[in-house]
Amino acid sequence: MTQNAAPSPKLRVLIADDSHETRRSTRLMFSALDNVEVVAIASNGLQAVEMAKEYRPDIVIMDINMPEMDGLTAYKNISRQFPDTACIVISAERDIATLNAAEEIGVQAYLTKPFIIEELETAVEYVSAQLREFRAKNPQFDSARLEELALEYSKARRTDDESVRLFEMLAQSPQCNLRWLKTLLMIYAIRQEWGKLKALAERLERETKT
């Protein structure tokens, strides 16, 4: 019997906008999307750059006109450090010069305020597809991202479905770090998933003998 591949972890999103109402409404829209998790919210570009270092989002949704640092400059800083972080720009204006400037620095999608959830969902789907393609061509970014998440989940002692999906994804690799296999073994024990626990324990025994 062929096992299905573990589904991907949720897309981690950072929202950056100086408007409280836009931050609030955007977060509410994201809460309705099953494959997205808002991990941080910034009120200016400089804060967005700092939060990106801490939370390592997959996607940043960035207003253009913000205090401290504008959205395009902020994303340029973020993408320089984390090339596998995608961006959706939002703005009340849609002029050609701004669109061109956004495209030049690698912004993948552009939404005009006010936007609706269907527009946001379409943008997220488009951007996530580009992100998967980029990471497939540059696996060092994807594997590094999973390792970072694994460390974060391990420190938080998470045993929820999301953590299971993450560690099972890591376990698919024959070169998986034994630390993550042992963490997954513990999660299976806590969740009383005895069949999976037995199979993983047998794998661990084989690998520790080699």
Peptide bond preceding 114: is omega within 30 degrees of 0, i.e. cis?
A: yes
Give one DSSP letter per residue of 106-130, joined into a string.
Answer: T--EEEESS--HHHHHHHHHHHHHH
For each successive 10 residues of the chain (210 residues), what is the average pLDDT?
A: 52 95 95 92 96 91 93 93 91 85 91 94 94 82 78 91 85 83 95 94 83
Chain-centroid distance of CA 80 in Å reads 17
194, 165 Cβ separation under 8 angstroms: no
pLDDT at 8: 60
SS3 24: helix
Per-residue confidence (pLDDT) for residue 4, from 0 to 100: 45
| Sheet (strand 36-42) strand order | 36-42, 11-16, 59-63, 86-91, 109-112
Cβ neighbourhood burial of 45 (10 Å; 0-12, 13-18, 19+): buried
